[in-house]
Amino acid sequence: MNTDSPPAVLAEGLAFSYASGGGLARADLTLDAGVMAAVEGPSGSGKSTLLALLGLILSPAEGSLHIAGTDAGALSQAERDLLRQRSIGIVLQDLGLLTFLNAWENVAAAFGPRLGRHRTAARDLLGDLGMAQLADSPVTELSGGQRQRIAVARAAVKQPVLILADEPTSGLDPKTANSVMDSLRACAEKGAAVLLVTHDSAIAGKCDQRYVLDEGVLSAAGDQAAAAPTADKETLR
Ligand SMILES: Nc1ncnc2c1ncn2[C@@H]1O[C@H](COP(=O)(O)OP(=O)(O)OP(=O)(O)O)[C@@H](O)[C@H]1O
């Protein structure tokens, strides 16, 4: 890690409320380059909302968010979109792979429609992530775990400072889940900060940092009792 670089993520007092009343009450989070972090928490605790805020898909109602030193709150919508495209890779729960393309084409699609221009970058990354033999496979012929790893490669191919992954191992057997985690770890070793949401404590245990979301309040695992002011929780009831 280059200690002169700003953290990949610096979130202070991040909060968001849906009209329904749910959302995120408070998140303070610093993620340095190369770090893998897990967020655990019960259903409805705000995990997907946190990812949407960090991914610049939602704008916080309160708090500040810096991505690699850029204050997202000071940007126009168009500038936020550009920052997301340049700096953040997202692995969605439903993956969103394009079924009419093969594996490397799906990875190259992260750059836009001119896939051929990014063939080398896509194929090289698949090689780095141990998937060279899958590069020409139609994604419809891949297993669930292989598709997950292709989605990880697509999120990583533009060398983002931050990769967000929403339950990247859900529904996978432990061996396949480990191969997805190996791919995410390889992305971290290339310099990305990786934040994943999981319900699986064994998967969280493979990460460098563990956080828990409880009723919309984020705290380091083990710190929940000290870190969840009652007033913040009340805002989500
Ligand atoms: N689009 C939305 N409109 C209104 N309320 C929402 C919306 N999305 C989420 N919520 C509410 O916000 C709260 C947090 O939801 P969120 O999806 O972030 O939780 P989660 O921890 O990701 O849940 P899960 O583990 O079930 O995916 C919940 O009370 C949920 O009902």
User: CA-CA-CA-CA torsion for 209, 11, 162, 83, nearest 10 degrees?
Assistant: 180
- Tell me the percentage of the chain whose pLDDT exceeds 90: 74
How far away, in angstroms, is 51 Cα from ligand 1 center?
A: 11
Question: Which sign does the torsion angle of CA 22, 223, 66, 184 carry?
Answer: negative
How far away, in angstroms, is 127 Cα from ligand 1 center?
A: 36
The whole-number pLDDT of residue 37 equals: 97
The single-letter code of the amino acid at 135 is A
Neighbours of 211 (CB within 10 A): 25
Query: Which pair of structure tokens corresponds to residue 57?
Result: 């898909």
Interval 161-196: pLDDT, tens? 999 999 988 888 888 889 889 989 999 999 999 999
Q: Considering only CA atoms, which residue is closest to atom 11 of ligand 1?
A: 22
For ligand 1, say whether the CB of 48 is within 6 Å of any of its atoms.
yes
CA 228 to CA 22: how far, in whole Å? 16
The whole-number pLDDT of residue 96 equals: 86
Cβ partners under 8 Å of residue 55, min gap 6: 84, 88, 90, 164
The whole-number pLDDT of residue 237 equals: 41
How far away, in angstroms, is 49 Cα from ligand 1 center?
A: 6
How far away, in angstroms, is 162 Cα from ligand 1 center?
A: 22
pLDDT category, 151, cuts 50, 70, 90?
very high
- Is 234's pLDDT higher than 50? no
What integer best gives the mean pLDDT of the chain?
90
Structural domains of the chain, with CATH:
9-93+160-234 (3.40.50.300)
For ligand 1, say whether the CB of 7 is within 6 Å of any of its atoms.
no
For ligand 1, say whether the CB of 41 is within 6 Å of any of its atoms.
yes
Side-chain-side CA neighbours of 60 within 13 Å: the count stands at 25
User: Is the distance from CB of 165 to CB of 96 less than 8 angstroms?
Assistant: no
Provide ipTM, 2 decimals: 0.97
DSSP 56: T
Interval 3-42: pLDDT, tens? 578 999 999 999 999 998 899 999 999 999 999 999 999 9
Range in 7-16, 57-66, 139-148 with the lowest mean pLDDT: 139-148
For ligand 1, say whether the CB of 13 is within 6 Å of any of its atoms.
no
The phi and psi torsions of 130 (rounded to 5 degrees) equal 75, 25
